[in-house]
Amino acid sequence: MRRNVAGLVIVFVGAAVVQLATSGTYLRYVKPGMRWMLLAAGLILIVLAVADVLADTRRKPASSDDGHGHHGLPRAAWLLLIPIFALLVVDPPALGADAAQRQSPVAAKPADPKSNSWLANNSQGAAPVELAVRDYAVWAVWEKESMKGRAFQLTGFVTPAKNGTWYVTRIGLTCCVADGTAFMVEARGQTAPPKNQWVTVTGQWAEPTKRTDGDVAALTVETVKPVTAPANPYE
């Protein structure tokens, strides 16, 4: 039996994909909906490699080279080991403050104003409303009138900026990290926790900060509580 390098590489790639999908690590890189696609792709790769190895053992060694030259790997295929190397050695974390700092904290105008009917049931001065950072970052700028005078609770990680400013941040994902968009809310009135620390903050709506490229949502923070990172770090 000949050593089947191609099969070996494919088994490792397939196993890595299956491992990502089953362990939940995939949530660092892609949206939750891709789990089953990853699992299927990984299993198909493993089956393919196993089938190839089995076919190899059945083939007689003498006649093994009737043009089936796939035992030696196409040279490009060695590159497939680089992402495996990155996964095993670097163990890339979910996007955090570093990625957010590369983007502008300005909230883009929503294409379609979302329903905020929940505000009607929440009188001013009531307990803080729990909101997704991506919703708050947009509404605090574009729905000022309904947000004014209310208390909110946000959960995100800390992105420090210049002059002691810091943002409660979440990254929004539509497919994978390549399209990750940072949603940032400026936290006022408290000193910044360490970079990338996950926090739950409560506070009052505040007038957005004006920048040359637009307005940034802000919150006058009353309490800051360090929390552990959620299973899905993205929104």
Partner 1 sequence: MTPADVTDSAGTTPDSTLEPAPPPPEKEPAGSSIAFTATLILLVGLALFGRRIFNGVFTDDGIRTWATMFVGVTVQAMPFLVLGVLLSAALTAFVPASFFAKALPKHPALAVPVASASGVVLPGCECASVPVSAALMNRGVTPAAAIAFLLSAPAINPVVLASTAVAFPGQPKVVVARAVTSLGVSMILGWLWLLTGKGGSWLKMPQNRHADGTGKWDVFRSSMLHDFLHAGGFLVVGAAAAATLNVVVPRSWLDHVAGNLLLSVLLLGLLAVLLAICSEADAFVAASLTQFSLTARLAFMVVGPIVDVKLIALQAGTFGPRFAVRFAPATFVVAVLASLLVGWWLL
Question: Which CB, 49 or 221, lies closer to partner 1?
Answer: 49
Which CB, 111 or 127, lies closer to partner 1?
111
The H or E element containing residue 84 is helix 81-85
- Residues 171-190 binding partner 1 (CB under 8 A) are 174-179, 181
CB of 125 to partner 1, least distance (A): 33
The token duo for 151 is 């208390």
Q: Which is nearer to partner 1, 57 or 174 (CB)?
A: 174
Q: Please, are residues 172 and 183 in contact by the beta-carbon 8 Å criterion?
A: yes
First to last CA, the chain: 50
**Which residues, 24 to 43, sit near partner 1 by CB under 8 A?**
26, 28-30, 34, 37-38, 40-41
Binding-site size, partner 1 (CB under 8 A): 78
User: Which CB, 29 or 128, lies closer to partner 1?
Assistant: 29
Return the percent helix, strand and coil in the chain, to nearest 5: 40, 25, 35
Stretch in the footprint of partner 1 (CB under 8 A) among 4-12, 117-125, 156-164, 200-208: 4-12
Nearest to 96 by CA among 157, 154, 137, 155: 157
CB 97 within 8 A of CB 160: yes
User: What track of x and - describes contact with partner 1 for positions 76 through 115 (by CB under 8 A)?
Assistant: xxxxxxxxxxxxxxxxxxxxxxxx--xxx---xx-xx---
